[in-house]
Amino acid sequence: MITLYDFELSGNCYKLRLLMSILNLPYEIVPVDFFPGREHKSDWFLRLNPFGQLPVLQDGDLTLSDSGAILAYLASKYDGSGLWFPNDPAIIAEVLRWHAVADDITATSSAARLALGYDYPFDIEKSQKGAHRIFRIMDEHLWFGEKQGRDWLCTPAHPTTADIACFPYVMLSEEGGISRQDYPALRRWTDRVRRIPGFTVMSGIFPAGKALEQA
């Protein structure tokens, strides 16, 4: 059985809930009071992950941390279709490149959200600027992709864990005072992610409008 150590309002935890929902994988949740309890810095949690960060996932005897690493693990192990983390050297490199971008989105967009909503002492203006810089590059990448018939962040004709990794803190950016108004291709991509079969929401992220569903 898979166990996810989870905080509902964490975008990084949500990445795993989202992929497991898409893969239709059963799992148990152990809630961690990240806020206001700071339980991710408690002794029992630090024994699971000395870095004191969510999420942590246990699968049998394995204890894993880091959302990007866990996405790669879950997809490699449980996605029979092989689509979400394709076993192809060039595509693996491409996906991991976007996992790294996802970490940069966490360091900027999520940091601004934590500063404004959860009283973290981060530099709000610097975080917002950093997020805008990344969103601008993503918007161009996705805009050119659309022109070439590519709907997702990576080359394959289907979504990969790269899309899952980047999605949550793009969607939650407005809580960090970062508008997505100037990034139309980025917004269209978030709509496509929200129409992936098995998609699930978290608090702060709403489903795509039904009326727009493609026949």
Nearer to another protein, 151 or 174 (CB): 174
The whole-angstrom separation of Cα 144 and Cα 185 is 9
The whole-angstrom separation of Cα 24 and Cα 78 is 10
Nearer to another protein, 8 or 151 (CB): 8
The whole-angstrom separation of Cα 185 and Cα 207 is 18
3-state SS, residue 26 = coil
Nearer to another protein, 89 or 121 (CB): 121
**Residues from 172 through 201 that contact another protein (CB under 8 A):** 174-175, 177
> Amino acid identity, residue 212?
L
Phi, psi for 56 (deg, rounded to 5)? -125, 140
Look at strands 27-31 and 56-59 and give their pairing: unpaired
Structure-token pair, residue 135: 């969103």
209 binds another protein (CB under 8 A): no
**Residues from 74 through 133 that contact another protein (CB under 8 A):** 116-119, 121
Q: Using CB under 8 A, pick the residue from 53, 104, 204, 208 that binds another protein.
A: 204
With contacts defined by CB under 8 A, how many residues of the chain interact with another protein? 21
Sequence length of the chain is 215
31 binds another protein (CB under 8 A): yes
Nearer to another protein, 8 or 79 (CB): 8
Binding site for another protein (CB under 8 A): 7-9, 31, 33, 35-37, 39, 116-119, 121, 174-175, 177, 202-204, 206
